[in-house]
Amino acid sequence: MNPSPDTPGADAASHAANAANAVTAAAIEARLRQRLQPTELLVIDESHQHAGHAGANGTGFGTHFRVHIASPLFLGASRVSAHRLVYDALRDFFDAGLHALAIELKQS
């Protein structure tokens, strides 16, 4: 049961719950490695560059990421199809607070 906003310690409990469910570069990398078997992968958290922008959560991390990725699964796929594979692999991350994802496809 989550404490109500009027419950003492509610802020601390909310912060702890958010930290446990935080979107991280490591978690995104692990998911992409699992689903897309990349030959090249770099995930960068650029959230701090978007402070005060739409989708920013005030922490400076976990909302805006850049992914450089090459995968054999992209061979023969259109750019839109390759991007869709990445977005589909990370769908639950968007539900958890990922707001923006810049995808840079690399040749595999």
Where do the domains of the chain lie? Answer: 11-105
Count how many Cα atoms sit within 13 Å of the Cα of residue 93 in the half-sphere of its side chain. 23
Between 78 and 5, residue with greater pLDDT: 78
3-state secondary structure of 28: helix
d(CA 89, CA 85): 6
The whole-model pTM stands at 0.72
CATH superfamily for domain 11-105:
BolA-like (3.30.300.90)
The full length of the chain comes to 108
Per-residue model confidence as pLDDT tens digits over 26-78? 999 999 999 999 999 999 998 756 455 555 545 555 678 999 999 999 999 99
Count how many Cα atoms sit within 13 Å of the Cα of residue 92 in the half-sphere of its side chain. 7
